[in-house]
Amino acid sequence: MNFIFFKDKIETLEYFSARLADALSGLGFETYIHGFYGDRAALFSHIRDGESVLVTFNCIGVSGEPEYISDGVSLWRLHAVTVINILVDHPMYYHEQLEKLAVYASLPERTHIVCIDRNHMRYVRSFYPEAVNLHFMVLAGSGEEYAVDFDKKKYDIIFTGNFTPCSHFERFIECNGPEYAVFYRGIIDDMLSDPSRPVEQVCLEHIKREAPDASPYELRFTMSKFLFIDLYVRFYLREKAIAALDAAGFNLVLIGHGFESLRTKSGRTLSGKALLPTAHCLKETAFAKISLNVMPGFADGGHDRILSSMLCRTLSLTDTSIWLKENFTDGYDLCFYDITRPEGLVDTAAELLANPEKLYAVTLNGNKKALESHTWESRACEILNWIQ
């Protein structure tokens, strides 16, 4: 058994691929990272019928791209390649790909869909029964090699990620006229009133209220058109958290695009460092005492930002999810805040920074937990358990 990965598409996913490939190599497996637009002959030299495994993220290489289709059928199916497709966003972002798994991926019994939230897995099971092999696995953390001693920390708080103002999504809300705009805003208001509810739960309630006879196909298709709602809520919550910390006067470092558009109470314009390669973001995270996480709607999953912060020996300050509460303890190996109470986030951050002994203890406990259970080596073992 050998493993194939992609590069040259999305830098973050390429980084994940390289780390997972390294972990599998360390376990004695042959790995090959193929340039997405690279020489097909080189790829074919690594494909072994019925033995090879493609590990990809977000449907890269299994989205019907012409480079990987031959006579209307994917190369992976033609050569009985096992496909491990890890979705790092909600499955509604990949409606077409999931709908055409048998064409774009491999044989049904050789195609594995991996979700980083258990609600995402339930969603795929409900709306894409053609997906036979479903798994739940939170992405691993990275960056343990960048951890620094506590006295070398130079930032209070860091946030890595991008920002898009909610005004950007107004055109999608208004595009179908005032009646639909009221409908969309009703969904957004419900999601913001209780961010712990999964996006699909809120959206489907509203859809079924308006169209009680909608078929599963119609429901999944409609959900795929609601991406702007998910993104609106994501960036609204991100804005509130960051603006509250900025207003409190913390030494806050932002790495990512778009923060100059974020509204602050003081009217001050924020600026973020460019979202540089993943390795650079991890190095910067290691120099912070606290790493802020705002969950992108993962109500029963986790985000790699949390685990990477721990591995960088930086305290993770995050809103909650069911999975996080099952696997971590507030005030012991990370710290939780209530996403609906930005003032509580400020209080928690201030308390931690005023109590360096507690901050240090929680940081070390989180680091230990992540090293034990949330590295790419541990995720490689999970994958092997599915396919061996």
User: Which of 278, 287, 275, 362 has the alpha carbon at shortest distance from 318?
Assistant: 362
pLDDT at 223 (0 to 100)? 97
pLDDT at 269 (0 to 100)? 64
**Same-domain check for residues 87 and 213:** no
C-alpha 39/C-alpha 325 separation (Å) is 46
The answer to whether residue 24 is domain-embedded is: yes
The answer to whether residue 171 is domain-embedded is: no
**Same-domain check for residues 7 and 126:** yes
Q: Which two tokens stand for residue 103?
A: 């064409």
The answer to whether residue 384 is domain-embedded is: no
Helices (H) and strands (E) in the chain, counts: 17, 13
C-alpha 360/C-alpha 364 separation (Å) is 6
C-alpha 364/C-alpha 314 separation (Å) is 8
Contact 385, 114 (CB under 8 A): no
**Same-domain check for residues 261 and 360:** yes
The answer to whether residue 198 is domain-embedded is: yes
If one counts the domains in the chain, the total is 3
**Same-domain check for residues 153 and 276:** yes
C-alpha 300/C-alpha 116 separation (Å) is 9
**Same-domain check for residues 153 and 294:** yes
Cα-based distances in Å from 319 to 63, 293, 297, 306, 363: 33, 7, 10, 10, 17
Amino acid found at 326: E
pLDDT at 102 (0 to 100)? 82
**Same-domain check for residues 192 and 119:** no
Residues ≥6 apart with Cβ < 8 Å to 59: 85, 87, 94, 97, 104
Task: Give the domain-ending residue among 137, 157, 188.
Answer: 137
Q: Is the dihedral of CA 268, 228, 14, 298 positive or negative?
A: positive
**Same-domain check for residues 161 and 286:** yes
**Same-domain check for residues 148 and 51:** no
CATH code where residue 156 lies: 3.40.50.2000
pLDDT at 271 (0 to 100)? 64
**Same-domain check for residues 29 and 157:** no
pLDDT at 261 (0 to 100)? 85
Half-sphere exposure in the Cβ direction for 225 (13 Å, CA):
14
**Same-domain check for residues 108 and 216:** no
The answer to whether residue 381 is domain-embedded is: no
C-alpha 133/C-alpha 379 separation (Å) is 17
pLDDT at 351 (0 to 100)? 98
**Same-domain check for residues 13 and 125:** yes
The answer to whether residue 382 is domain-embedded is: no
**Same-domain check for residues 216 and 241:** no
pLDDT at 272 (0 to 100)? 66
Task: Give the domain-ending residue among 122, 137, 152.
Answer: 137
Give the global pTM.
0.96
C-alpha 29/C-alpha 5 separation (Å) is 13
pLDDT at 263 (0 to 100)? 76
> pLDDT tens string for the chain (388 positions)?
999 999 999 999 999 999 999 999 999 999 999 999 999 999 999 999 999 999 999 999 999 999 999 888 999 999 999 999 999 999 999 999 999 888 899 999 999 999 999 999 999 999 999 899 999 999 999 999 999 999 999 999 999 999 999 999 999 999 999 999 999 999 999 999 999 999 999 999 999 999 999 999 999 999 999 999 999 999 999 999 999 999 999 999 999 889 888 877 666 667 666 667 999 999 999 999 999 999 999 999 999 999 999 999 999 999 999 999 999 999 999 999 999 999 999 999 999 999 999 999 999 999 999 999 999 999 999 999 999 8
The answer to whether residue 69 is domain-embedded is: yes
The answer to whether residue 362 is domain-embedded is: yes
| Segments forming the whole domain that contains residue 43 | 2-137
Contact 373, 139 (CB under 8 A): no
